[in-house]
A and B are shown apart, each in its own frame.
Chain A
Amino acid sequence: MKSLLVFALIHISLFAHGVATGDQGYIQQISGINFVPFMYLGAKHMVTGYDHILFLVGVIFFLYRLRDIGLYVSLFAIGHSSTLIFGVFADININAYIIDAIIGLSVVYKALDNLGAYQQWFGIQPNTKITTLIFGLFHGFGLATKIIEFDMDSNGLLTNLIAFNVGVEIGQLLALSAILILISYWRKHPSFITYAYSTNIILMVLGFVLTGHQLLGYFNS
C-alpha cells in the first residue's frame, strides 16, 4: 500500500545521479550492521503504514481483555515476522501491488468477521486465531517486498533484518497503544455498540479502497 507513496517519492526526488533520497537513500548509503537505525525504520514503517494499522483496528475492535489483545497481536506478529525474514532471504519477489491488494482484503475480511457475516452467510465462524496468523503471513510478505525494494546491503543483512523486525514489533505496540486508548474512551460510551456496525462497514470500505488502489497501480505499472 505504501508502494505508491514510495513510488511517488522516487519519481520526485530520485535520480539526479541515480541516488534515492529519504529512507531508501539512507539505506543505500550505508553498509554493515546498523541495529538501532534499522529498528527505527521498522517502527516507522509500522506506525506510518495504515494498512497494518487498519487490520489491527479490525482485530482488536471487539477484544476487551488485555490478555486476548496480547494473544492476537502476538499471533499476527509471529505471522509477519516469519514471512518477513523468509521472504527477504529466499528473495521471494511477489509483486508489491498484488501483496498490498491482499493486505487490503485482509482488512475487508476482518471487518466482515466482526460483523458476523460468515456466521450469517455460511453458518460457520472461521477460527479467528488461525486467520489472524494467516493474514500475518501475508502482511509479512508485504514487509519483505518493501525491504527488497530498499536494496539493503548484504553485509550484516540478517542482523539488520532482525533489527527491522524488532522495530516493526515496537512500532506495532506503539500504534496499538494509541488505538487502544482512543477506542477505550469510545467503548465507555453507549455509542460504541450503536456505531460498531457502521464503523466496521467503514473499515470494510477502506479495505476495499486499499485493494482497488493497489490493483489500479498493478494494471498501470
Chain B
Amino acid sequence: MFNSQQPSEKDLPTSTQLLKATVVAIAMAFILIVVVVLPAEYGSDPTGMGRILGLKEMGEIKMSLLEESQHKPAQEITASSTDIYHKEETMVNNDVVEHTLEPGQAIEIKLEMIRESLAQYEWRTTKGGLNYNLHGDGYKGTEHFVSYKKGRMVSSDSGELKAEFDGYHGWFWRNREDYPVTVRLQTSGDYIQIKQIL
C-alpha cells in the first residue's frame, strides 16, 4: 500500500538512545535560546555572546524600530508637530536646516506640499553616512503613503521632489554610524512649510 517497507527493528533507535537524544535536544534548544534568540530578537544578552556574534545589535535595532513604530503614528501628521520655520503661504521658499544625530538617533523633516508641486533639495553630511527614506504621507485620515527614494550609509543627495498627493513629503534619516553625524538640508521651491515631524 505504501511506497515503503515497515521499519525493521535494527533501523530504529533504542529507547535509551531516544531519551538521550531528547535530553540533548532540550539542552541545545535552551542554549540556543539564551545565546542566540534572546539577543537577536530582544537585544538582551545574558551570556555576552550576542555582542561578539553581532546578534545583540540586531535585537537592539528591532526593539528600537518597534518602539518608534508604536509611538509615532498618533503624533505624525497632527497640527501639534513642531514647526521649524512657519511659513506664510507664499509659494516660493528657501530653507536651510541643520541637525546633529547621535548614534542610533533618527530625525524626520518634511515639506508640506500640494499635489504636483515641486521642490528642489540638497543635503549632505559633514562626515559619515546616514540611512534615509525620502517619502510622503497624506494628511491625517488619508491612507496615502509613498517612498520616493531610499539609501543606506549615504552622505549626500540632491534632486527634485514632486509631491504625489497633498501632504507631508520629506526625509527620514537615521544615524547608524558609531559617532554623531551632522546633516545639512537645503530646500527651495513650491511648498507651504517645512516641519520637523520626529
Residues of A bordering B, CB below 8 Å: 13-23, 25-26, 28-32, 34-37, 40, 44, 61-62, 64-65, 113-116, 118-119, 125, 128, 153, 155, 174, 177-178, 181, 184-185, 187-188, 192-193, 196-197
Residues of B bordering A, CB below 8 Å: 1-8, 11-13, 15, 18, 21-22, 25, 28, 32, 36, 40, 53-55, 57-58, 61-62, 65-66, 68-69, 72-73, 76, 106, 108, 131, 133, 135, 137, 145, 147, 150, 152-153, 172, 174, 176, 197-198
Secondary structure of the A side of the interface? helix
| Cα A59 to Cα B135 with chains together (Å) | 46
**Least CB separation from B63: chain A residue:** A21
Across the A-B interface, give the 5 residue pairs with the lowest CB-CB distance, nearest first.
Answer: A62-B4, A16-B72, A64-B11, A18-B135, A17-B172
Partner of A184, one of B18, B72, B150: B18
| Cα A153 to Cα B150 with chains together (Å) | 11
Do the beta carbons of A116 and B58 come within 8 Å of each other?
Answer: no
Question: A-B pairs with CB below 8 Å: how many?
Answer: 131
Do the beta carbons of A188 and B3 come within 8 Å of each other?
Answer: no
B80 smallest CB distance to A (angstroms): 16
Partner of A29, one of B7, B61, B76: B61
Given contacts A115-B3, A184-B12, contact A36 B69 (CB under 8 A): no
Do the beta carbons of A19 and B145 come within 8 Å of each other?
Answer: no
**Least CB separation from A190: chain B residue:** B6
Do the beta carbons of A62 and B2 come within 8 Å of each other?
Answer: yes
Do the beta carbons of A114 and B4 come within 8 Å of each other?
Answer: yes
Do the beta carbons of B25 and A178 come within 8 Å of each other?
Answer: yes
Do the beta carbons of A37 and B135 come within 8 Å of each other?
Answer: no
Do the beta carbons of B61 and A25 come within 8 Å of each other?
Answer: yes
Given contacts A13-B66, A19-B65, A40-B36, contact A29 B174 (CB under 8 A): yes
Do the beta carbons of A25 and B72 come within 8 Å of each other?
Answer: no
B57 smallest CB distance to A (angstroms): 8
**Least CB separation from A200: chain B residue:** B2
Do the beta carbons of B62 and A26 come within 8 Å of each other?
Answer: yes
Given contacts A64-B12, A114-B4, contact A18 B55 (CB under 8 A): no
| Cα A37 to Cα B65 with chains together (Å) | 17
Do the beta carbons of B40 and A37 come within 8 Å of each other?
Answer: yes
Given contacts A31-B153, A178-B25, contact A17 B133 (CB under 8 A): yes
By a CB distance below 8 angstroms, the chain B residues around A14 are: 69
